[in-house]
């Protein structure tokens, strides 16, 4: 498929125009395994996050499928432009599909670069991390040790990035 970068960006934009903020990405063999990202509910009693076995979760989101297919059909020169073009469309509405797609095409490092270098809205950052968590839970078998090390380094950097709020000092109280 012979595309220009402009054609690629237009196609990505068209595909992403059909996404929703809380897009459902997976179909699960056992529906009781699912949890709702809108309310972020999971097993509160154990504070654990369920991990699917290989084959228990299948990607059913049409936009993720279309983006993976578009990437596979591009020549190698255009494939290099794909992650930046995809991440350039990162919004609250598209974050779920963008995160899953970037990881699926093997460019976790591009997502890491965006987290490190871009001034992202805190809500978008939150969605990115929830969707990375979802990807890890549903397709843990697809992540290499290097991927996990990269995610851990990104997580550590993210924690450092969050401003620390210290409790007020009782000596600082003003009494009227």
Digit-coded pLDDT (tens) for 117-158: 878 999 999 999 999 999 998 899 889 999 999 999 999 998
Cα–Cα distance measured from residue 98 to residue 114, given in angstroms and rounded to the nearest whole number: 12
Cα–Cα distance measured from residue 88 to residue 52, given in angstroms and rounded to the nearest whole number: 30
Cα–Cα distance measured from residue 99 to residue 175, given in angstroms and rounded to the nearest whole number: 51
Is residue 99 very low, low, confident or very high in pLDDT (cuts 50, 70, 90)? very high
Q: Does 38 have pLDDT greater than 50?
A: no
Residues 127 and 92: beta-carbon distance below 8 Å: yes
Q: Which of 4-13, 19-28, 46-55 has the highest mean pLDDT?
A: 4-13
Cα end-to-end span (Å), the chain: 75
Residue 37: what pLDDT?
Answer: 43
Q: How many residues does the chain have?
A: 176
User: With a threshold of 0.85, does the pTM exceed it?
Assistant: no
Which residue from 158, 12, 157, 2 is spatially nearest to 83, judged by alpha carbons? 12
Residue 33: what pLDDT?
Answer: 60
**Distances, alpha carbon 105 to alpha carbons 50, 110, 123, in Å:** 24, 11, 24
Which residue from 90, 109, 106 is spatially nearest to 98, judged by alpha carbons? 90
State the DSSP H helix or E strand holding residue 154, giving kind and residue range, or none if neither.
helix 145-161
Which residue from 118, 116, 89 is spatially nearest to 102, judged by alpha carbons? 89
Cα angle at 105 between 99 and 107, to 5 degrees? 70
Q: What is the DSSP letter of 27?
A: E
Residues 101 and 86: beta-carbon distance below 8 Å: yes
pLDDT in tens, 106-128: 999 999 999 998 789 999 999 99
Q: Which residues contact 170 (CB under 8 A, 6 or more apart)?
A: none
């Amino acid at each position: 498929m012979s595309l220009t970068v402009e054609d690629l960006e237009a196609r990505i934009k068209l595909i992403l125009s059909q996404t929703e903020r809380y897009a459902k990405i997976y179909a699960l063999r056992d529906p009781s395994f699912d949890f709702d990202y809108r309310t972020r509910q999971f097993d509160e009693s154990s504070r654990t996050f369920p991990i699917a076995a290989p084959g228990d979760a299948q990607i059913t989101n049409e936009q993720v499928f279309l983006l993976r297919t578009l990437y596979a059909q591009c020549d190698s020169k255009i494939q290099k432009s794909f992650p930046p073009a995809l991440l350039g469309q990162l919004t609250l509405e598209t974050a779920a599909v963008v995160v899953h797609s970037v990881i699926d095409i093997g460019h976790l490092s591009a997502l890491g670069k965006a987290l490190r270098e871009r001034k992202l809205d805190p809500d978008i950052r939150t969605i990115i991390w929830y969707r990375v968590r979802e990807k890890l839970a549903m397709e843990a078998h697809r992540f290499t040790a290097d991927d996990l090390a990269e995610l851990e380094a990104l997580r550590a950097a993210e924690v450092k990035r969050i401003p620390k709020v210290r409790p007020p000092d009782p000596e600082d109280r003003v009494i009227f």
